[in-house]
Structure 1
Amino acid sequence: MALLGKVLRNRRAGETQMAWNLPDLAAADDIEVTSADFTHETTLALIHAGKRAGGRDESPALAWSTPPAGTAQLLLVVEDPDAPTAQPFVHCVALLDPAVTELPRGALRAEAAPAGVRLLRSGWGREYMGPSPVKGHGPHRYAFQLFALTTPITEVGGKSPEEAKPRDVLAAARAHARGRIDGFYERS
Structure 2
Amino acid sequence: MPVLGRLLKNRRSGDAHAAWNRPNLQGPELLELSSRSFDRLGTIPPEHHAKNAGGQNISPHLAWNPPPTGTAQLLLVVEDTDVPTPKPAVHCVVLIDPAVRSLAPGALAAKEPAPGVTILRSVIGRGYQGPAPIRGHGPHHYTFQLFALATPLGETAGKSAPDSARPSALLPSITAPVLARGRLIGTVER
Per the normalisation by structure 2, the TM-score is: 0.96
Shift of 1:154: 2.5
Structure 2: distance between partners of 1:168 and 1:103: 26
Match of residue 78 from structure 1: 78
The number of residues matched between the two structures is 187
Match of residue 34 from structure 1: 34
Please tell me the root mean square deviation across aligned C-alpha atoms, in Å.
0.9
Q: Which amino acid aligns with 1:127?
A: G
* 1:78-133 superposed Cα distances (whole Å, 9 cap, x missing partner): 00010011100000000111111111001111233112111111111111110000
Structure 1 regions of 5+ residues with no counterpart?
A: none
Match of residue 107 from structure 2: 107
Structure 2: distance between partners of 1:79 and 1:135: 18
Structure 2: distance between partners of 1:111 and 1:170: 23
3-state DSSP class of the match of 1:94?
A: strand
Q: Which amino acid aligns with 1:165?
A: R
Match of residue 182 from structure 2: 179
Structure 1: distance between partners of 2:87 and 2:81: 7
Q: Which amino acid aligns with 1:147?
A: F
Q: Which moved more, 1:18-27 or 1:103-112?
A: 103-112
Q: Which amino acid aligns with 2:160?
A: K
Q: Report matched runs for 1:15-164 at 5 Å.
A: 15-156=15-156, 157-164=158-165
Q: Which amino acid aligns with 1:44?
A: I
Structure 1 contact 78–144 (Cα < 8 Å) conserved:
yes
Structure 1 contact 25–176 (Cα < 8 Å) conserved:
no
Structure 1 contact 92–121 (Cα < 8 Å) conserved:
yes
3-state DSSP class of the match of 2:16?
A: helix
Identity of aligned residues (%): 51
Structure 2: distance between partners of 1:16 and 1:176: 21
Per the normalisation by structure 1, the TM-score is: 0.97
* 1:137-160 superposed Cα distances (whole Å, 9 cap, x missing partner): 000000000000111102113111
3-state DSSP class of the match of 1:47?
A: helix
